Structure 1
């Protein structure tokens, strides 16, 4: 399975590749992960500079800043998916996970969508933006009350309910996903991807992602 991978705010594709290395290497073989950069320069995320001091460029997608920048972000991602795809799944962390959920939502809401994602993997997902509303000039966050549990495809949700960096990240995307096809791993590591020093969480993440991929492959 081929995954499009979107990093978090104040990091970059190389950092997300390193953040997910232990989990990716522990997964069942046969998967490919394609990491793409945001285009907006940004300050490094908390603690990132301490862990990756050699990194010079930190980026974000800036989807929720204003309509013009959000629409450009969405347009750029659609172009990347068109030229570098197809992708079977999508994976993201924090801001990138929220955008990933928004792309899945566009696939479900638009019968003519070019996206062909079969599953989603979300680490500490930020709010998901309604991409179709964005095309009409509105920035609107998808939520359970308005949209219901309409993402009916296999998903994995990996998050810390006590996240103090971005409280609530992980919850809103989980709430719009079909519980019957959902895997969930709650950890106590804060706003990060389980990796070094968290072998138990890595093992749980690996199992949940492998099950998500298996579900996607049999649909």
Structure 2
């Protein structure tokens, strides 16, 4: 319908034939007493003017920037998905939305927004699992086992266990260590200790005392 409204038609004087010519696009079209902007007659932009569209774009850019700062590890597709969900959950809902939501709840289909959030969380978890698997293969981790030790001042010495996990275990790895003051001070409460733990090819556990 609208494609014909942007044309001019005139009648040939001799033959009585309708001739189509180009015309300027109207600035507005009156519908039910309201003037609609003719440049935004498609889809959801039917009732929006240029200013509102620009504001919507600015809002989306702002949301994406905020999400990028909060989740720097996520790629663009994930950020766009999260931005869409954020916009959907914060926008003013129409009556149709609530009718559809009520129908879904009655038929057991569930909440639209919760379902969207669950799918997003599942995708993110899957990606994190993939990243963890890759990091286990290429990255070596060195840690105490157990992660914390306690002893009395008169215990003499404490034997600490260090574990090597992941990465290329066929290579030799050197890890420096030293004691630092906390609630106890070196010289007064304990003896300062430093050294290097050497993991040779195939070794995954070492011990040293402080």
TM range (shorter): under 0.3
The structure whose Rg is larger is 2
User: Normalising by structure 2, what TM-score?
Assistant: 0.19
User: Normalising by structure 1, what TM-score?
Assistant: 0.18
Of Structure 1 and Structure 2, the greater strand share is in: 2
